[in-house]
Amino acid sequence: MSENMFDRAAITEFRFVRWEFDPASGEARLVYAFDDGAELVETIRFPAAPYKLSPERLSAVGRAIRLLHLIAGVSYYKAAAPLRLRTSQPLEPSLQALLTEVYELGLGEFAYRNHLQLRGRLQFLSGDGDDAPGAAPVLGLSRHALVAIGGGKDSLVSIEALRRAGVAQTVSWIGSAPLIRACAERTGLPLLNIERKLSPLLFEYNRQGALNGHIPVTAVNSAILCVAALLHDADQVVFSNEHSASYGSLIPGTGEVNHQWSKGWDFERDFAAYVRGFVAADLSYYSLLRPFSELAVARQFAKLDRYDAHFSSCNRNFHLLGERPAQRWCGECPKCRFVFLALAPFMPKPRLMGIFGRNLLDEPGQAPGFDALLEYGDHKPFECVGEGRESRAALASLAGSPTWREDALVARFVEEIVPQLTEQELALAPLLEAAHDHGIPAALWGPLLEDFRA
């Protein structure tokens, strides 16, 4: 492929070229290429440099950046999606298995939308030798959590739960979204903002016809924060992905495609195991909300009110390109609809309408969008929203409320959809119970469960 020219049909291989890290500046450089084409260089800058690291800590940082390099490549790989991916370093079997999941399952929606078949076909080609890391050492990291914040309700629930549990934490995010910064500052906790700059060449390739679509960005951000934890002496990286994230969209003729695969339990379990096994034995990666449904998290968030004027889950606020809503909530996307619906059973109606500026459940034109959330005549949207049974249970709860039952879409639900469902399919209480699969530290699990039951 000639310099800066992009011909997807001619590309045969994606290459992980090299990574670099400068402790003096705090900058990591991740370098990729297609075949023998131009290098795509991503930069990530960790604040508070220079970093004075012991040889053992610097070695662990190198292992974490190696992992980051291999996972973050997904942002560039998708431009052409060749079936061969090559790195000059050897890949241990556990890492190759993790990468196969990230690139095949994490790109499931991307592949579906672009009519590609990646599952079971990707080949990770690696160098020979014994350069792969051995068992990770215990580094003696301090008891401190880097907590990822995304500007929505989930991370705020985690932050407040950790605060009540007495866990020292730093609120952390990647990128420059003003809304996330406003939420982070509202917590009153120490902040860590990491700068990530994608290669400008990727955007040029997009203009020349590269493939595009959703990537498992949570996997990338997880790897970035693991590097940050080692640099900032924290023994925990905490995300806020709930139980519902493991449930994808059921596509007729295709099967399950999970938009939020890297927010699911399978990724969390496998990524955490690799980090403990090969990066740092005392670095824990987990989601604090993993055992809980979206509705359980919404109930918990409704107990707070300090973030009502600051949070937003509307993804249109976070698009790299394109139009953003004038307000924090567009009111027209699956995320807006779901968050409104999830909060409605647990929050006074005037408060909820004050947050959104309107009543989405009294807008008949929104019916098709809510039907998709219900998985009624349509599949679950490709968005980070809860399961269809959660939406059905939330609407069933509202149907019994004098405050909500006369709203257009609630009344429609009662008349048209409820007769097709069983009482079990409409039950809310079972969805508020904790599930068993999670990686939450044992010392934290008891207080957290008690907190959610209060």
pLDDT tens-digit profile of 375-390? 887 777 777 788 899 9
The parts of the chain modelled with pLDDT lower than 50 are: 1, 319-325
Total count of domains within the chain: 2
Identify the pLDDT of residue 3: 59
Q: Rounded to an integer, what distance in angstroms lies between the CA atom of residue 156 and that of residue 330? A: 21
343 and 200, same structural domain? Answer: no
Q: Rounded to an integer, what distance in angstroms lies between the CA atom of residue 296 and that of residue 243? A: 10
Range of the domain at 270: 11-287
Q: Does residue 74 come out as left (phi exceeding 0), alpha (psi in the -120 to 50 range) or beta? A: alpha
163 and 64, same structural domain? Answer: yes
Torsion sign over Cα 345, 346, 351, 357: negative
User: Is the pTM of the predicted complex or chain greater than 0.85?
Assistant: yes
> In the chain, what percentage of residues exceed pLDDT 70?
96
Tell me, yes or no, whether 318 lies in a domain: no
Tell me, yes or no, whether 237 lies in a domain: yes
409 and 261, same structural domain? Answer: no
Tell me, yes or no, whether 225 lies in a domain: yes
Q: Rounded to an integer, what distance in angstroms lies between the CA atom of residue 69 and that of residue 223? A: 9
Residue 364 is encoded by which pair of tokens? Answer: 């008949």
Q: What is the DSSP string of 75-94?
A: HHHTTT--SEEEESS---HH
